[in-house]
DNA sequence: TATGAATGAGTGTTCATTCAT
DNA sequence: AATGAATGAACACTCATTCAT
């Protein structure tokens, strides 16, 4: 086994570009194959079907994000700073991988398949990171012990995600990623107290 | 011809149900026609094409929501209470029209057509309501004058939207809409101070 | 019964215009109805179906042409002059009713229905006029008795028809109807001797 | 891949048969596919769309005809004999490829697309051959120098075309192709003098 | 007579997927 | 492993025709 099949990687990159540019349902497998410079059939050697391609993009990037997030968080002790690091990382990665971000935020939501039926383990891992930060904040007496982490982890994700989406789709950027990060951090740190 | 075509209304209702159940791209025009008990061709008497049907669902419900929101907000003086009313209304309406909410939140995001190209007037009206509340809060010295309403209006929307989405899709409800509303209000009111 | 229903006439006129402009298969019954300022359904009060509309245009105009041709021919004694009058009339009428001519020449040929299956009485009447002129010419010793009128009547029709078609479709007219008429007459009169 | 795709050829053959039998507008792509023993989609690997299929039939056969006509004409010196050869060839080919002839003569005229909009290069090449023969005849003092070749080339085509059409559609042949050829030649040779 | 809303069968075209090479 | 020609199911949309008013 190669470290990770180089061709599989190329296809994922190509699919990310194509799906971001045209949308999942408006992209054909042939489009992806062409972008990846492989034959149509080759895609089916590495992915079960078109849906699997989308899911694979998601899983791979979530794995990377979750790992990066955990490393980043471990650099800090206080929940407050951890939350800041987390938000900052999320927005910086979106900034760095704008096409990938678009695919995950827009295309992945499209179909019931992904949101309703597909048991979204990776997404829960993401949310767990946020929840743990909140819990730690409560233990450290930084955050209000009465707040419901189960609900708010999702609200925090929604807010970050929406800002990221807006920023990626905005043609003429009205604010920087740093500003956005600062505003969000301020609001949540105060809001959770 | 009725004042507002009864058949047009029936088709919109049917489309909402079908799109929520199967997703926009996995629904056929024939599915919608069958659910509405009209012939396939009849749909094209009232809507330009399948996309137009989706957009119409969105515009009609946004109009209703915006009107309701403005009425609700006018019942209060303080920005704090206005924000509470707003969040509460949003979540209550989602609770009441779960299928509609699903369509708007999930299906409408799916295609570049809607998010990127379609000039989303109605959505900006929604965001403007939030922005005005924040501005009023600043004037009333309730909210911190330094916060960036242009960014945070979107964050607030994202948080509410995400909670609503989770709640609608959750099979076994782990929390009530009222709890969710309370938690969100608490966090934002504190967060904006 | 009105002399000839005024509405029926209006519909035929409208259909002629629409079919000439867009072609029979690219015209809808609704297009014709709109041009005639009647409701779609009204057309079915006067015509059995869309095909019947086309056939009716043809029959009505052939009747008119055949009558006019017989009158015109009776003004002359010699077959040579009769042939000249005939060709001249054909081309003058095409000149006068260009849209009608287009429909008959192009659209009517489209479908097997008209050329193969539809027993084309009127068309045979047309050809018979030509045949009779040739026969008369033979009797008058003006035309060669050996020529086969059964074949050449059709050739003469084809030549006139093609010239008429070219002339109607030509945007910038490279020759006048009178020139065309003169050239054709010269050739046939000599050719039949 | 064969030198000239064998499958493309098969589809053209099948389309010729189907269009001749049912007419272009009354044939479905599925009919053609079935006759060619290929899948519906395969047709779109070789042709842009249904119209393209019809145009391709026309262009291929016109190329063949024009080449054959030029070879045939070069066998003769006198314009008179060249004209005879030309008429003879046209009618013999129609005799040999009756279905093809029907498609070209009937179906191709049907739509504005072909006659009005489609710049009909090939057809002009056909007409040019006739024109050149007439010019040569004038130079050889065989034909009358006063006749208008620009007009009469089209008349000659119309006559041949119409005779060919009649002959192909005639169920019980009332005359042979050879007779038709003889009559036409006689008439035109005399008529052009 | 006249209307025009409603119908629903029909079709060109697309594209995910397969499989012989 | 890789190819890409071939497949054929699927679907949005059209439009001739009907019929209740």
For chain D, give the DSSP string: --SS-HHHHHHHHHHHHHHHHH-STT--HHHHHHHHTS-HHHHHHH-SSHHHHHHHHHHHHHHHHHHHHHHHHTT--SHHHHHHHHHHHHHHHHHHTHHHHHHHHTGGGSSHIIIIIS--HHHHHHHHHHHHHHHHHHHTTSS-TTS-HHHHHHHHHHHHHHHHHHHHH-SS-SS-HHHHHHHHHHHHHHHH-
What pLDDT score does A163 carry? 94
Question: Partners for A (CB, 8 Å, 3+ pairs)?
Answer: B
In angstroms, the CA A23 to CA A144 distance is 42
- How buried is D12 (Cβ within 10 angstroms: 0-12 exposed, 13-18 middle, 19+ buried)? buried
pLDDT given at position A137: 96
Three-point CA angle A162, A167, A169, nearest 5° = 95
Which residue is the nearest neighbor of E14, CA to C1'?
Answer: D41
* B174 to chain A, closest Cα gap in Å: 9
Residue A137: closest CA among A147, A127, A151:
A147
Percent of chain A with pLDDT over 70: 92
How do residues B54-67 score in pLDDT, each as one tens digit?
989 988 888 999 99
Q: State whether D161 and C162 contact (CB < 8 Å).
A: yes
CB A32, CB A21: distance < 8 Å: no
| Euclidean distance between CA atoms A62 and A98, whole angstroms | 14
Residue D79 to residues C30, D131, D139, D142, D192: CA-CA distances in angstroms?
Answer: 53, 11, 9, 8, 11
State residue A112's pLDDT score. 47
Residues A135, B170 contacting (CB under 8 angstroms): no
The mean predicted confidence, pLDDT, of chain B is 89
Comparing D143 with A25, the larger pLDDT belongs to: D143
Nearest neighbour of B154 by CB, restricted to A26, A155, A162: A162
Q: To 10 degrees, the CA torsion angle through A69, A74, A79, A80?
A: -70
Instruction: Say whether the A–B interface has 3 or more Cβ pairs within 8 Å.
Output: yes
How many beta-carbon pairs under 8 angstroms link C with D?
Answer: 134
Residue B90: per-residue pLDDT = 94
Cα torsion C94, C98, C103, C105 to 10°: value is 40
Residue C145's SS3 state is coil
Q: Do chains D and B touch (3 or more CB pairs under 8 A)?
A: no
Determine the Cα–Cα distance for residues D76 and D90; give it in Å rounded to an integer.
16
Q: Is the confidence at residue B128, as pLDDT, over 70?
A: yes
pLDDT in tens, A163-188: 998 898 888 999 999 999 999 999 99
User: Is residue B113 scored above 60 in pLDDT?
Assistant: no
Which residues, 6 or more positions from B173, have their beta carbon under 8 angstroms from its beta carbon?
B167
D79-125 pLDDT, tens digit per residue, is 999 999 999 999 999 999 988 888 877 776 665 455 455 657 788 88
| Partner-chain contact A161 B160, CB within 8 Å | no
Q: Are A27 and A19 in contact (CB under 8 A)?
A: yes
Average pLDDT over residues D169-193: 93
What is the average pLDDT value for chain A, to the nearest integer?
Answer: 89
Question: Interface partners of B (3+ CB pairs, < 8 Å)?
Answer: A
Q: What is the mean pLDDT of residues B13-19?
A: 95
Note the CA–C1' distance, A12 to F20, in angstroms: 58
Residue (of A102, A23, A160) closest to B110 by Cα position: A23
Q: What's the CA gap between D7 and D36, in Å, rounded?
A: 8
DSSP H stretches of helix in B27-78: 29-36, 40-46, 50-73
Q: How distant is C1' of F8 from CA of B187, in Å?
A: 56
Q: Residue C165: CB partners within 8 Å, gap ≥ 6?
A: C101, C105, C106, D158
- Contact at 8 Å (CB) between D109 and C109? yes
Distance from CA of C3 to the nearest CA of D (A): 34
Position B150 pLDDT exceeds 70: yes
Q: Is the pLDDT of residue A3 over 60?
A: no
Q: Residue C114's closest CA among B13, B73, A106, D107?
A: D107
Nucleotides of chain E in contact with protein CB (under 7 A) are 1-20
A50 pLDDT above the threshold of 80: yes
Distances in Å between the Cα of C19 and the Cα atoms of C37, C95, C116 are: 16, 18, 21
Whole-Å CA distances, A179 to A176, A189, B117, D20: 5, 15, 26, 71
Non-local (6+) Cβ contacts of A57 within 8 A are A12, A15, A16, A19, A100, A103, A104
Nucleotide nearest to B5 (CA to C1'): E5
Per-residue model confidence (pLDDT) at position B110? 59
Q: Are D and A close enough to touch, i.e. 3+ CB pairs under 8 angstroms?
A: no
Q: How far is B143 from chain A (nearest CA, A)?
A: 11
Say what angle helices A98-105 and A50-73 make with each other, to 10 degrees: 110
Residue (of A62, A75, A23) closest to A157 by Cα position: A62
Do C104 and C22 contact (CB within 8 A), yes or no?
no
Report the candidate in A66, A161, A173, A166 with the shortest Cα–Cα distance to residue A109. Answer: A161
- Is the CB of C22 less than 7 A from some atom of nucleic acid strand F? no
Of A52, A168, A169, the residue nearest A118 (C-alpha): A52
Task: Flag the least confident range among A30-34, A38-42, A119-123, C168-172.
Answer: A119-123
Residue A5 Cβ under 7 A from any strand F atom: yes
- When the pLDDT of each residue in chain C is averaged and rounded to a whole number, the result is 89
- Residue A17 or D4, more confident: A17
* CA–CA distance, B123 with A159 (Å, rounded to integer): 16
The H-or-E segment that residue B122 falls in is helix B121-139
How confident is the model over D140-162, as a mean pLDDT?
A: 94
The whole-number pLDDT of residue C77 equals 94
Greatest Cα-to-Cα distance within chain C, rounded to the nearest angstrom? 58
Q: How far apart are CA C47 and CA C29, in angstroms?
A: 11
Shortest CB distance from C112 goes to which of D26, D147, D166? D26
Q: Where are the alpha helices (DSSP H) in C74-106?
A: 79-96, 98-105
For residue B112, pLDDT beyond 60: no
Who contacts D35 (Cβ-Cβ below 8 Å, separation ≥6)?
D14, D15, D17, D18
Is the per-residue pLDDT at A37 higher than 50?
yes
pLDDT in the model for residue A113: 52
Tens of pLDDT, residue by residue over B71-94, are 999 999 999 999 999 999 999 999
- Strand, helix or coil at A15? helix
Interatomic CA–C1' length for residue D51 and nucleotide F16, angstroms: 23
**How many Cβ atoms are within 10 Å of D63's Cβ, its own excluded?**
12
Q: Other C-beta atoms within 10 Å of A178: how many?
A: 12
Residues of D in contact with C25 (CB under 8 A): 25, 110-111
Of residues B154, B168, B183, the one with CA closest to residue A153: B183
Q: How far apart are alpha carbons C108 and C113 in whole angstroms?
A: 9
The helix (H) or strand (E) run that includes residue C42 is: helix C40-46
Q: Which domains does chain D carry? A: 1-47 (1.10.10.60), 55-192 (1.10.357.10)
End-to-end CA distance of chain D: 53
Q: Residue D152: which of C147, C155, C183 has the nearest Cβ? A: C183
Q: What pTM was estimated for this model as a whole?
A: 0.88
Q: How far apart are CA B164 and CA A104, in angstroms?
A: 19
Show the low-confidence residues of chain C (pLDDT under 70): 1-4, 108-119
CA–CA distance from B158 to each of A63, A158, A159 (Å)?
A: 23, 5, 4
C148–D187 C-beta distance less than 8 A:
no
CB atoms under 10 Å from CB of D11, counted, come to 24
The 10s digit of each residue's pLDDT in A144-166 is: 999 999 999 999 999 999 999 88
Average the pLDDT over B10-18 and give the result: 96
Model confidence band, residue A118 (pLDDT cutoffs 50, 70, 90): low
Number of other residues whose CB lies within 10 A of the CB of residue C104: 25
CA atoms within 13 A on the CB side of C65: 29
Per-residue pLDDT reduced to its tens digit, C73-111? 999 999 999 999 999 999 999 999 988 888 877 776 665
- pLDDT, position A12: 96
């Amino acid at each position: 086994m190669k470290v990770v099949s180089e061709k599989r990687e190329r296809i994922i990159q190509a699919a990310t570009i194509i799906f971001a540019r045209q949308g999942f349902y408006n992209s054909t497998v042939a489009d992806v194959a062409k972008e990846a410079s492989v034959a149509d059939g080759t895609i089916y050697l590495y992915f079960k079907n078109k849906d699997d391609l989308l899911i694979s993009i998601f899983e791979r990037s979530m794995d990377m994000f979750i790992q990066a997030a955990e490393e980043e968080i471990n650099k800090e002790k206080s929940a407050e700073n951890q939350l800041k690091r987390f938000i900052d990382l999320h927005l910086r990665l979106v900034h760095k991988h704008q096409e990938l971000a678009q695919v995950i935020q827009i295309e992945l939501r499209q179909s019931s398949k992904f949101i309703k039926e597909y048991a979204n383990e990776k997404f829960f891992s993401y949310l767990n990171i946020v929840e743990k930060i909140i819990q730690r904040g409560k233990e450290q007496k930084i955050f209000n012990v009465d707040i419901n982490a189960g609900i708010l982890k999702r609200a925090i994700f929604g807010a970050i995600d929406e800002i990221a989406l807006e920023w990626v789709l905005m043609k003429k950027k009205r604010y920087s990623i740093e500003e956005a990060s600062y505003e969000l951090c301020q609001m949540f740190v105060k809001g959770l107290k």
